[in-house]
Amino acid sequence: MSSTTETRELFSKATTPEGDVKALTKLRMKAGAITSVVETEGDNWVIVSVWNVFDQQ
């Protein structure tokens, strides 16, 4: 069983400025992501965020 979850959010480079995507990573961190970075994948920006399991107690 995985102890972390990775989300990959794809945004088209044609319609989304890189600055907007980078700014969104800060909100992913504020929401509790362990890490959140922007990668590039072909025609897309990809926000890669890693999340821990929920508090259990």
Partner 1 sequence: MIASRKAVLVLIVTGRTQNIDDYPLSAAVLDLEAYQFAGSLPGAVLGTAADAKVKDDDAKKQIFEIQRKSIVAAKAARDLLDALLDSIKALSDPDAIALATTPPVQNAVVDNLLAARDPGGTQPWLRIGSAAKQALNMMVSFASVDDLAKWKSVLP
Per CB under 8 A, residues contacting partner 1 are 1-12, 15-16, 20-21, 23-24, 27-28, 30-32, 50-57
Give the N- to C-terminal CA distance of the chain in Å, as an integer: 19
Smaller CB separation from partner 1, 42 or 55: 55
Beta carbon nearer to partner 1, 15 or 42: 15
Whose structure tokens read 């890490």?
35
- Distance CA(20)–CA(15), nearest Å, equals 11
Question: Looking at beta carbons only, is 5 or 40 nearer to partner 1?
Answer: 5
